[in-house]
Each structure stands twice: as structure tokens, then as C-alpha cells.
Amino acid sequence: MTQAAIQKISREAYLAMEEQSEVRHQFFNGEVFAMTGGTFNHSAIAGNLYLSMGSRLGGSSCRPMNGDMRIQTPSGLDTYPDVSVFCGKPELSDKQRTLHNPVVIFEVLSPSTRNYDRGDKFAHYRSIPTLHDYVLIDPDEIGVEHFRRSPDGREWVLRDYRDLSEALPLPSIGLDLPLEEIYRDLLPEQPRPG
């Protein structure tokens, strides 16, 4: 997902670079990080999430966004979650390329990002006042970590899901998402050459 910072620049220079780049980058505190591609299962899960959210949210005031929609946190991180959902009118900037009011954010884990997604990145996401649910999905085994903001907004409560027969409750957007939809049509783990 991320690689070493390539240079220190202003956010304006970062936005100009992103408009021309074929590779997406994260930005924080003047540092730009190239985002790498994921595995087949990583991409399949992100696609499953986007399709399921789109079909289940049809007719509601909530809409899913794929990994092309940038999110900027009040703490200053610009990044591209695998899938996000906003409700009502989107709060946008940067020529409609940055969303500021996600309600739910989904990240598919990878070996190089799982600690970052659970730690520093989650700390940045927690600074988004509209965010109610943060969901981490393991592409290598059935494993969903759901962090839900408490009603008073002071705490985040974690619940793990490990069974395909379970559904992930997302009352903030008015639906339950079956795990079997998240993990549909994945490839079995492939033996590594060598």
C-alpha cells in the first residue's frame, strides 16, 4: 500500500501531481507515499463491497465510493480507502476529488499495511466527525474487524466476525452486510513458488 516518502511538498503541489499521475499517493505532513496494488483477493473483496453496498443502498440517501475517491481527514491525511460510504450531500473539495464526510470506511488488509491500518491510519480516520464505522477485512482468511463509534462519540468498540454465516451490522447506513457477500468468489490461497 505505501512505500517510502518520495519528497516533501505542499498539499497544493500534491494535488497537482495527483491530477497527472497514474499512480495514487497518500499525503501527510508534506510527505507523499506511492500506493501499491493489491492481490486478486484484495481487489475482489473491494469490488464485492462496492457492488453489495451499491445494490443494498439503492434508494437511500447513502452512496458507496470506490478506491478512486480520496478522503481527507481533519488531522491532515489524504488517502484512498478501498471503499467508503457517505450519506446525504457529499462534502467535496479539490475539484470534487476529495470527500470529507464518510460515514463508513472499509480497508482490505495486506501484509505491508495491516499494522498501519489498525494504528496510525485509524487514528487519522477517528478525527473525521461523520465517521461511525471503520471496517478492516482480511483477504487471506475469514476475518472482519468492525470498529463502531459509541453513541457519545468518545470511544470506539471493536467486534470481530469470523463466520461466513454472520452479517456485519451497519446501522449508521441502515443495513446488515452478510460476510458471504464480502468473501464471494475468492481464489483459494496459492502455493508460493520456490
Least trusted range by pLDDT, from 1-5, 82-86, 90-94, 135-139: 1-5
Q: Give the residue from 15, 17, 13, 35 showing the smallest Cα distance to 116.
A: 35
pLDDT at 2 over 60: no
pTM: 0.86
pLDDT band of 135, cuts 50, 70, 90 = very high
**What fold, for 39-182?**
tt1808, chain A (3.90.1570)
Q: pLDDT, tens digit, for every residue of 4-19?
A: 545 588 888 887 887 8
Write out the DSSP string of 35-94. BPP--HHHHHHHHHHHHHHHHHHTTSSEEEE-TTSEEE-TTS-EE--SEEEEESS--EET
Confidence at residue 82, expressed as pLDDT on a 0 to 100 scale: 94
